[in-house]
Amino acid sequence: MTTDLLKYKETDLIFMDIETAREYKEISTDHPKFHTFRLKMRDRDTDELPSEEETKELYNKKAGLYPIYSRIVCITMGFISKDKIYLKTFSGEEKDILTDTVNTLKENAGKTLVWWNQAFDLPAIRQRFILNGLTGYLPDNIGNDSMKKPWTLKGTLDLMDVWKGIRYSSDSLGEVSVALGLSNPKEGDVEGSQVSEVYHEEGDAKIIKYCERDVSALINIYRKFTYKEIIEEIIIKTGKKQKQKHNIFQKLALDMIPTEKEQATLDARIESLEGEEKVIALELVAAAKHREKPMW
């Protein structure tokens, strides 16, 4: 595809997608946002406003495309480790979705965020963050798009642009997936145009699966672009697991990576051991040093 793409270290990539829905199930004519949305939907050539009924229909169909009139339903992150896809989706209250996403990305500073059409996702996350009254957004080196041009963004990679090149028009994630011989992530219980309706009628369960299919497809498009085999095995982390207490040696045996504080304690403990116990402990520590740190 391009030698520049091949320079990225696969384990340093976080693949992402968001899903948005209109803010309200229905909007009344006396709502302040009704009037601003109606003005947004005016005929650009004649300045003619749509009727009230037309405005309601347009709101139902298109409000989810504009951060001022929508809300983020879920954000899915994915990464590759040992030829497996790992996914995690943030859902629920929008403030929690945004806060958890931003905190996770800050914890993984130095990674590159990978998108399909980041021009939609990145501004939506940032603007909804501001509109929710949250503070402490992503710094410039982790995908903050404010006051940036696409070519001055840092910490991001848009696979749509990798595919598009200098061509004027763009192809969708679904189109490229099918063309590459992958399954179409858009085929399922929900289509993109139905997200708002499904969210307000049924909740977010189907939309989360839809978002996770998109991220899985994005990862395998990347694999195709970099001449690698696609990944079939997908591991989805759901909800918050209760923290289990393990002593330091149990953590090592369970492929966990000790913290810096634990490592200091561990060194002292090993020094107090003798014989076979000390040999086993040193082997566990040596193995831990070669493990990849999980993204979450």
CA distances from 269 to 18, 253, 264, 273, 276 (A): 46, 16, 9, 7, 14
Asked if pLDDT for residue 160 goes beyond 90, the answer is: yes
- Produce one character per residue of 236-265: b if its CB has 16 or more CB atoms within 10 Å, e if not: eeeeeeeeeeeebbebbeeeeebeeebeee
CATH topology of domain 3-237: Nucleotidyltransferase; domain 5 (3.30.420)
**d(Cα 123, Cα 289) in Å, to the nearest integer?**
38
Asked if pLDDT for residue 186 goes beyond 60, the answer is: yes
Asked if pLDDT for residue 290 goes beyond 80, the answer is: no
Asked if pLDDT for residue 159 goes beyond 60, the answer is: yes
Position 191 scores a pLDDT of: 75
**d(Cα 64, Cα 22) in Å, to the nearest integer?**
4
Average pLDDT of the segment spanning 46-73 = 96
**d(Cα 73, Cα 115) in Å, to the nearest integer?**
17
Q: Where are the domains of the chain?
A: 3-237, 248-288
Please give the mean pLDDT across all residues of the chain: 88
For 192-222, how does the pLDDT look when each residue is reduced to its tens digit (9 = 90+)? 778 999 999 999 999 999 999 999 999 999 9
Identity of the amino acid at 171 = D
For 108-146, how does the pLDDT look when each residue is reduced to its tens digit (9 = 90+)? 999 999 999 999 999 999 999 999 999 999 999 999 999
pTM for the full model?
A: 0.81
Choose among 96, 222, 101, 229: nearest CA to 157: 222
Position 243 scores a pLDDT of: 42
Position 244 scores a pLDDT of: 44
